[in-house]
Structure 1
Amino acid sequence: MGEAPLNSLRMVQLIVTPSNALADEPVSIRATGLCPLQIVTIKATLKDEKDNVFQSKAFYKANEAGEVDLEQTPALGGDYVGVHPMGLFFSLKPKKAFHRLIKRDVMNSPLCISLDLYESVNILETVTIPSKASQRVQRWFAGPGVKREQIQEGRVRGALFLPPGKGPFPGIIDLFGYIGGLIEFRASLLASHGFAVLALAYFAYEDLPEKLQEVDLGYFEEAANFLLSHSKIQQPGIGVISTSKGAEIGLAMACYLKQVTATVCINGPTTITSLPLRYRDLVVTPIEHALEWIQIHVSGAVRFRHTTQYLQNKLYSQNILPVEKAQGKILFIVGENDECLDSKLHAQRAMDHLRRHGRSSGRMLAYPGAGHLIEPPYSPFCFASWQSVLGQPMCWGGDPMAHAAAQEHSWREIQKFFRQHLLQSGRKL
């Protein structure tokens, strides 16, 4: 009998550790049992809760031992190039244009990602070939012991996520932008790291207005008071984490509400835009975007970045939020390639304003190459997606690699910021 071919003696394995983890935790991906210097494809596939498919792939060359380790082996091509241990996760792209991945049910089911290894490079994917090894990865948005409470208290609508343990815990309100409804994935992840977080809806949810006509800051003050009245929330103040239009509201909360002692504003304006802001007897009129400032990206998505020209006009000074009145600390997180808004210019203007008033309460983290939707780490990069309020796709911008790095770094900084400014002295989280 002749000798068996070398490859037939090898068992190709795809090893992922941990295969069951929080969505913001990194995983190790290794392939073993390959031929020395063999080139393979590793592909990731995910279906969201509406069966929308997201996929990514990268090509790798095995070492002399027939192994590929994504923490050391550079990708030769595919959806990224170079050493990116979590590249298959942040490179996941929708098969249908302008879909954005948002986990809705954060408590009962994980995101399931299938990883498949192929012993060839099938760039065009015109031929279906079987995978040599597969692994299934579960990405959870709530850790063990995290509890979710549905909130219907006065006007306040949302979901409160509480960490395991007696508490009290530092309290945070979580706000998203013009997407509407109730978005919970960031709140549940923060609760998994020891914070009590109220994911707050403010339109297009339950009995709240279907469309936002104005921003009533009294509603958000009611939410802050509710959170502080909860037995598991630490006194004396709360934090706010906010994105886009939500960051405009978050900054307004920092300026006008004494309950707010630490605010994170992610890629938001520092002016009142589109809708009036109302707080008791105060009404701040909005700045309307001029149509001639709006641009269309080659993908067909709308770019609003260049509508920030008004910041240079002194006529609009009454529309700018008075950051010097903020009693707490503010962390501005901005992507320098944000195509929705020139968020760095907005944040820099607020920082300059604080300095002119002798205030050192602001800090800015600016990320070159990052776009608008800076989310928890390893979230798929989203360049553009459908915006239901506008009824058309929005361009968010960013470079995938730089954006992924910004998500990792900013997530650590956000948690450090809240621990520093919300925890009482002597307590540790």
Structure 2
Amino acid sequence: MAQVIVHPKIALVDEPLHIRVTGLLPYQLVLLQAKLTDEKGEIFQSQVFYKADEGGEIDLEHAAALGGDYIGIHPMGLFCSLKPKKLLSRLLKRDVLNSPFLVQLSVHDSQCFFTGSSKFLKTSETVERWYSAPGVKRIQIREGRVRGALFLPPGEGPFPGVIDLFGGIGGLIEFRASLLASRGFATLALAYFAYEDLPKAIDILDIEYFEEAANFLLSHPKVCLVPTIGIVSVSLGAHIGLARAVFLKQVAAAVCINGFYFAAEHIIKYRNETIHPLNYVLEGIRINDLGLMALSNVLENPQEETNKHALLPVERAQGHILFIVGEKDQNINSKAYAEQAMEQLKRHGKSNGTLLSYPGAGHLIEPPYSPLCLTSWSHISVRPLLWGGEAIPHGEAQEHSWKEILKFLKCHLSPASISKL
């Protein structure tokens, strides 16, 4: 009798699984399927053909997929290649503490691919993918102007402090913060617009708001007794994260994923300093045959002399900066921008920047084994936005970059590292 064997069946989402199928006929061709239903009832699914070995087994750590959503040896490919049944949907976990994503792994006779009939189902197993470890605590934050959710790791602490920022999606996104807390960081998921009593839209990026958030985090008794924090940020959030590293001495480590190193759409203001944004080049918008919009070429060249007013003085950052970019980002020209920021640091004799660049990765680089979001709706656009990327290389980038992010934060938020700043 066929059987799916998964270890572990209950795990954090950033943990790989060992998936095996046993009890098949020798060299039998089967269809492996992963299916996830999110909190809104939207279905995400992947399907891949595998052939059993001479003993009637398939071990995804060694067996190559023959066709379907990917080919080759990719032990977690079923997860990385999950695609929404309803086009333009993005997988986002909202309730990060109380429920996991349930993923059904099933094995079917290969004919199932054409008929979809359940009579071809041979066996299945359900795994739990959690965004928070047992003992992680969530505290709703409404302190002064600051709005967000603080996630504390299990244990007495104190723990290194990190602020987590997302981009133009707005609101409060918590799944990465809860996962960072599960890895030992007291993490504040910070909202900065379109949430509670915060502004509905962004007019000016006031860095003093983010400074207030940093001071709140540093004052918490569960946060390490050193005067510095880390930042993990993506897209517009990475733009803010870099600005915070420039203006705020509290930032010892800033992770900037696919962002700008200049004022891109909004004025950046900190106390008596103001940086004005670049202008849009509307003719740089690209719309493909499916009506998906790419925005990677809609800003003026920041390197032109007339645009130097928009540049962030990245050389003033006292902490360390980790730039992470996807080379197939269709939303921001992120690789070029990160390279230019690194060159700006170099020109000023600074060596506190590191760049990780991933071929095949798109804009939304998230924790490991998250499915690629190639395109989705955004409130900033009348058309769906193209984020870019290819499922397998994007998945590999997420797996590698997450390990590097955790290593980077642990290295630069340790008391020994702080004393050298």
For normalisation by structure 1, the TM-score amounts to 0.95
Contact 1:44/1:89, CA 8 A, preserved across alignment: yes
1:376 Cα deviation (Å)?
0.3
Q: State the match for 1:5 in structure 2.
A: none
- 1:200 aligned to 2:190? yes
Q: What SS does the corresponding residue of 2:64 show, helix, strand or coil?
A: coil
- 1:37 aligned to 2:27? yes
1:289 Cα deviation (Å)?
1.8
1:13 Cα deviation (Å)?
0.6
- 1:374 aligned to 2:377? no
Once the two structures are superposed, the pairs formed by residues 157-236 of structure 1 within 5 Å of their partners are 157-234=147-224, 235-236=226-227
Q: State the match for 2:402 in structure 1.
A: 411
Q: State the match for 1:295 in structure 2.
A: 286
RMSD: 1.3
1:201 Cα deviation (Å)?
0.4
1:290 Cα deviation (Å)?
1.5
2-side partners of 1:226 and 1:298: how far apart? 48
Contact 2:324/2:355, CA 8 A, preserved across alignment: yes
2-side partners of 1:299 and 1:325: how far apart? 43
Total equivalences in the alignment:
417
Query: Out of 342, 345, 356, which is 1:354 matched to?
Result: 345
1-side partners of 2:290 and 2:364: how far apart? 17
Query: Out of 114, 121, 132, which is 1:142 matched to?
Result: 132
2-side partners of 1:214 and 1:311: how far apart? 20
- 1:95 aligned to 2:58? no
Q: State the match for 2:114 in structure 1.
A: 124
Q: What SS does the corresponding residue of 1:310 show, helix, strand or coil?
A: coil
> Percent identity at matched positions?
57
Q: State the match for 1:310 in structure 2.
A: 301
Q: What SS does the corresponding residue of 1:139 show, helix, strand or coil?
A: strand
Query: Out of 106, 109, 113, which is 2:96 matched to?
Result: 106
Q: State the match for 1:151 in structure 2.
A: 141
2-side partners of 1:139 and 1:57: how far apart? 19
2-side partners of 1:374 and 1:395: how far apart? 14
Q: What SS does the corresponding residue of 1:305 show, helix, strand or coil?
A: coil
Contiguous gaps of at least 5 residues in structure 1: 1-10
Contact 2:90/2:373, CA 8 A, preserved across alignment: yes
1-side partners of 2:357 and 2:205: how far apart? 27
1:165 Cα deviation (Å)?
1.2
Q: State the match for 1:77 in structure 2.
A: 67
1:298 Cα deviation (Å)?
2.8
Contact 1:20/1:137, CA 8 A, preserved across alignment: yes
1:145 Cα deviation (Å)?
1.0
Q: Residues 98-129 of structure 1, C-alpha deviation per residue, up to 9 Å, x if partnerless? A: 10000000000000011111022433345453
Contact 1:297/1:395, CA 8 A, preserved across alignment: no
- 1:394 aligned to 2:394? no
Contact 1:308/1:342, CA 8 A, preserved across alignment: no
Contact 1:39/1:121, CA 8 A, preserved across alignment: no
Once the two structures are superposed, the pairs formed by residues 44-59 of structure 1 within 5 Å of their partners are 44-59=34-49
Contiguous gaps of at least 5 residues in structure 2: none
Q: What SS does the corresponding residue of 1:124 show, helix, strand or coil?
A: helix
